[in-house]
Amino acid sequence: MTVLLRRYSGFPPEIFEKGLVPRMRGSSLFLYLFLCRTSDRKSSLQFKANDKEISEQTGASPRALCDARRNLATLGLIHCERCPGGVYTYSLCDPETGRPFPGDPKTKAQYVKKEKPVPPDRPPARQTTPSTVSKKAASRKVSAEDTSFNFGYNEYPLVDRVYFPKDFFNGYR
């Protein structure tokens, strides 16, 4: 379940997954958050913004913005071009490829869900066929609150799930 905030601006989670955030300077992170918010507001992956507007909202100086643009372009998160009058055209890039998203910047970028590899130590899911269901279980009425079936969280015994090191509770017993 997702917790939705009242007003929300998104950014690609790959910036954390690929370890890009530690490689950003403070002003780079401020600029990137501003660009992601502006992209959401304008419903476009490409838009124009001037340094004055960005400085007012992020608190970054013009020199810091210049360094931030260079840093974000080096990390492959943005592509920007200078226009007359201190205005820049920003294009948000795909963090996976480091290039602007293909196609029209006004259309939503398609999300391709990644397949999770199944850990080799985990047993395969059991398939329940009519021949393996006991007569007692077949005659039992199943209610909406019944969680005795093997699915999702209940599929594997709790013993397989170790959340703390084995010696974690030794000092507390």
Is residue 104 assigned to a domain? no
pLDDT 10s digits, 57-107: 999 998 999 999 999 999 999 999 998 887 999 999 888 888 887 777 777
CA–CA separation, 130 and 79 (whole Å): 58
What pLDDT does 102 receive?
78
Query: Mean pLDDT of all residues in the chain?
Result: 75
pLDDT 10s digits, 20-44: 888 988 899 999 999 989 988 888 8
Residue 109's contacts (CB-CB under 8 Å, 6 or more residues apart) are 45, 94, 101, 103
Domain that holds residue 160: 135-166
Let me know whether 147 and 80 are in one domain.
Answer: no
What pLDDT does 41 receive?
86
Number of domains observed in the structure of the chain: 2
The model carries a pTM of 0.60
Type of residue numbered 131 = S
Q: What is the CATH number of the domain that holds 41?
A: 1.10.10.10
Is residue 41 assigned to a domain? yes
Let me know whether 152 and 83 are in one domain.
Answer: no
